Amino acid sequence: MIQIARALFISRKDVESYYSKPPLVTWGLLFPAVLMLAIYVKNPSTYLTVAPGIIGMTLLFGNTSMAAIVITWEKRSGTLQRLLLAPVSHQTIVLGKVVSAAAYGVATSTVLTLGLVVLLKMPMVHLPVFIVGLLAGAATFALLGMIIAVRVREVFEAMTLLNFFRFPILFISGVFMPLDALPAWARPIAMVSPLTHTVELLRFGVTGQSWFPTPWIPILVLATMLTVSWLLAGTAFRRHANR
């Protein structure tokens, strides 16, 4: 319990120092909102097919970017090195960083979701499944951002490496097109993308429909990816945090 309390303290410090800044809040909300509005204006009758993907994309970019920014900034300023000298374990530090990054993504995605529900009358058929997808996706993406960011010292290096991962999976994870529309060779690749399973959970929560026969499949896959990402993040942090 003491380590959890310390992790939450680290998270609160990050939120107060980084995530509450107006430019980051504006960027996290404005970009997905404008994109969603453009899609709705073009074809209001089909916006529901894209809305879960936009929410998932907001999680992906928000969580990975914020985790990467905080880690690289603190490595350059020496803040991370001072934190390593504190009486906290590496797992506690990783947990604290991940919780704050995930909270940022969940907050911006929730505001976007509420806007879609209130302004565009987006339904919410299975809210518990939607919440599971939101939380599991946020944690997984935050861990992936940390795995990459802890290996470099500059923000632009982290963003470059992240974009090699983020942009390709946008087109194979059901964000802009359903999985049925993908070519046969792309579907196996889509199955190893955490964004695919996040989007399908969000889609099931919104419409009650999904490419998978049951939401338990993406839930179990995301749980596995989350566990693997946690182990990889811990290993990467121990090896590269002091460099």
Is 60 exceeded by the pLDDT of residue 198?
yes
User: Is the distance from CB of 202 to CB of 52 less than 8 angstroms?
Assistant: yes
What backbone torsions phi and psi does residue 184 show, to the nearest 5 degrees?
A: -60, -35
Is 70 exceeded by the pLDDT of residue 29?
no
- Assign 185 to helix, strand or coil: coil
- Residue that wins the pLDDT comparison between 110 and 79: 110
Is 90 exceeded by the pLDDT of residue 137?
yes
Would you state the pLDDT for residue 38? Answer: 67
Measured on CA atoms in the order 20, 24, 26, 31, is the torsion positive or negative?
negative
pLDDT band (50, 70, 90) for residue 206: very high
**pTM as predicted:** 0.88
Is 90 exceeded by the pLDDT of residue 167?
no
Q: What distance in Å separates the CA atoms of residue 138 and residue 199, rounded to the nearest whole number?
A: 12
Give tens-digit pLDDT for 72-98: 888 877 777 877 777 788 888 888 888
**All structural domains of the chain with their residue ranges:** 2-240
Instruction: Kindly state the DSSP code that residue 181 receives in the 8-state scheme.
Output: G
What backbone torsions phi and psi does residue 49 show, to the nearest 5 degrees?
A: -70, -20
Would you state the pLDDT for residue 237? Answer: 85
Is 60 exceeded by the pLDDT of residue 23?
no
